[in-house]
Amino acid sequence: MDTTGTAHVQIRTYGLDGSTPVSVGILAIPAFQVYPDVGRTDSAGALTINLTPGTYHLSASSWDPLYYLIQTNLTITGGMTVTFRPPQMPRGQITLDIADFNGMRIYAWGTYTAWAYSFWMSDGQMMLFSPDTYNLAATLTQSGWDYSLGNYGAYQVNAGQNTTIQAGGALSAASWPFRRLYAVGETVKLHNAFTDAFGNDLVHVISNTVNAGVRGQSDEISTPILAERTDRLVTGESLTDETIAPMLQVRAPNGQLVLEQTSWGVRGDYSFSVPTSQPTGVYTNRLALDTGPHQGLISASDWFCLAACRRACVSGPGL
């Protein structure tokens, strides 16, 4: 491209001590929506880019040591140097408390960009962030499986604060009706949920298979991700992802299966209608999910009553 009229911008990046050069990923962000990746600084912590004059946010993503630091509203009018020295920048700290998993992969995007790198963190590890409100896509990992959590849609990082994210432990399922009694012909509504030991919502489970001899490729989730998968892949490998969906079953009083749905759509509030041809009485609902190497199959059961009148059904199964 013709770089006439652009500004020659030098970027310098350092580690947590502020003096050791480190190689980090750089985003040059003129607008929230754009794809802003301009490369990585070299082993000496240096990168030179040409930018059209304007206002930019520059972010630096480091994997060793771990940090995600942003300099906002930089006015580029001509040649200049932008330096990232963590000790001299406002920053907050996140520390992981992970139980029973290998660690967690975090994608962070905030006020200044819709794009994010992937950071892999182990139990007890800390990471520095510039103060901001972030969307954190937090994914527990174990033996090639990913367990995505949904609690961090607006995670606040404040300067000078150290906050802890707790996750992992035993996974559990829950499925309960909004009401115990439904009249014939009414729509039945269940709430289905999966959580970890700390109450984090489990929103996705993916099994990853490593394929040898295929050119490596990155993966994405619902928000654009610049994926760093060096913790998982070596040169020449790629990943095949398989979504492991939960299953919801509802059985009539006579044991007949009246609903079987296998998809992540059954998570949360789920409504359905029991055919009027089915008998009245106590119905059972069962929610199950294969959690693979972590716990295998987890499940939960509950009940509701379909009746012509309230007094026709006043207690649960076997009562």
Sorted by where each starts, the structural domains of the chain and their CATH numbers stand as 1-89 (2.60.40.10)
- Residue 3, exposed/middle/buried by CB under 10 A (0-12, 13-18, 19+)? exposed
Q: What is the pLDDT of residue 315?
A: 57
Least confident of 195-199, 274-278, 287-291, 306-310: 306-310
Which has the higher per-residue pLDDT, 255 or 240? 255
Q: How far is 66 from 104, CA to CA, in rounded Å?
A: 13
Residues facing residue 3 across a β-bridge? none
Q: For 30-46, write each residue's pLDDT tens digit.
A: 887 788 899 999 999 99
**Residue 208 pLDDT:** 79
Quick one: pLDDT at residue 142? 93
pLDDT for the residue 231: 43
Question: What is the amino acid identity at position 209?
Answer: T
Q: What is the mean pLDDT of the chain?
A: 88
pLDDT for residue 316: 57
- Mean pLDDT, residues 15-32 taken together: 93
Q: Residue 61 and residue 77: Cα distance in Å, rounded?
A: 24
pLDDT at position 113 is 86
Note the residue count of the chain.
Answer: 319
pLDDT band at 121 (very low <50, low <70, confident <90, very high): very high
* Alpha carbon distance 86, 122 (integer Å): 21
Cβ neighbours around 120 below 10 Å, total: 19
pLDDT exceeds 50 at position 219: no
Mean pLDDT lowest among 56-65, 126-135, 225-234: 225-234
Phi, psi of 256 (to 5 degrees): -70, 140
pLDDT of 54 higher than 90 = yes
Q: Are 39 and 60 in contact (CB under 8 A)?
A: no
Q: 145 forms bridges with which residues in the sheet?
A: 142, 207
Q: What is the DSSP pairing of strand 37-40 with strand 281-290?
A: unpaired
Residue that wins the pLDDT comparison between 223 and 136: 136
**Cβ atoms 248, 285 nearer than 8 A:** yes
> Residue 282: beta bridge partners?
305
Give 128's pLDDT tier (boundaries 50, 70, 90): very high
- What pLDDT does 211 receive? 58
For residue 284, give both structure tokens: 């059972």
What pLDDT does residue 217 have? Answer: 37
Which tokens hold the place of 11?
């970027």
Side-chain half-sphere exposure of 91, counting CA atoms within 13 A: 21
Using an 8 Å Cβ cutoff, are 200 and 149 in contact?
yes
235 or 146: which leads in pLDDT? 146
Assess whether pLDDT exceeds 70 at residue 132.
Answer: yes
The per-residue pLDDT for 35 is 81
pLDDT at 238: 57
> Which of the pair, 92 or 117, is modelled with greater confidence?
92
User: What's the rounded Cα separation, in Å, for the pair 211 and 54?
Assistant: 44
Tell me the CA distances in angstroms from 38 to 2, 3, 61, 113, 116, one per residue in order: 16, 15, 12, 14, 13
Average pLDDT over residues 157-163: 95
- 263 pLDDT exceeds 90? yes
The 3-state secondary structure of the chain reads CCCCCCEEEEEEEECCCCCCECCCEEEEECCCCCCCEEEECCCCCEEEEEECCEEEEEEEEEECCEEEEEEEEEEECCCEEEEECHHHCCCEEEEEEEECCCEEEEEEECCCCCCEEEEEECCCCEEEECCEEEEEEEEEEECCEEEEECCCCCEEECCCCEEEEEEECCCEEEEEECCCEEECCCEEEEEEEEECCCCCEEEEEEEEEEECCCCCCCCCCCCCEECCCCCCCCCCCEEEEEECCCEEEEECCCCCEEEEEECHHHCEEEEEECCCCCCCEEEEEEEEEECCCCCCEEEEEEEEEEECCHHHCCCCCCC
pLDDT of residue 82: 97
**Main-chain phi, psi angles of 39, to 5 degrees:** 115, -165
